[in-house]
Amino acid sequence: MFEKILLAVDLNQSKGKRRTADAAIQLAQTNGAELHVLTVLPDTGMPVVSMSLPKDHTDQIKAEAAQALAKWGEDVIPAELQTVLHVGQGTIYDQIIKFANSVGADAIVIGAHSPELKDYLVGPNSARVVRHATQSVFVIR
């Protein structure tokens, strides 16, 4: 049913991250699918902020995130599962949808934090992915 699955993870969120990964791994194993794992770094914001940072700042942060994602993947994802790791930068929901489209993902697996009054039911990024993605989206709580 699914050939490529995109798992979106927030490396800074410890709670729920493993449960989301386990769901994506099980879905990939059941379908014999390739698993793409994406973590998204936020933009620096206004251009004036970017100008005040060293030129290699973005590259350094992406390299550190890639290293952290690889370490996390080694600890969590079974070695026999075909996996591709990605680090994006920008608006979280936008990057998830763009990466899903660029890799040809059939499904997206994303976590939702416990709702706060302002969120109702699912987090703002999860809700936007659900609304705007053309793929099937699995939201794991």
135: nearest Cα among 102, 112, 88, 113: 102
Written as one string, the DSSP assignment of 83-103 is EEEEEEES-HHHHHHHHHHHH
d(CA 129, CA 51): 31
Q: What region, left, alpha or beta, does residue 30 occupy, with left being phi > 0 and alpha being psi -120 to 50 degrees?
A: alpha
**Alpha-carbon gap, residue 100 to 119, rounded angstroms:** 24
In tens digits, the chain (141 residues) has pLDDT values of 999 999 999 988 776 688 999 999 999 999 999 999 999 998 766 666 556 666 777 789 999 999 999 999 999 999 999 999 999 999 999 999 999 999 999 999 999 865 554 444 456 888 899 999 999 999 998
What fold, for 4-140? Rossmann fold (3.40.50)
Nearest residue to 39 via CA among 73, 78, 77: 73
pLDDT of residue 121: 47
Cα-based distances in Å from 108 to 54, 95, 138: 34, 12, 6
Decide the pairing of beta strands 4-8 and 34-41.
Answer: parallel
Going from N- to C-terminal start, the domains of the chain cover 4-140
Instruction: Report the distance separating Cα 86 and Cα 31, nearest Å.
Output: 21
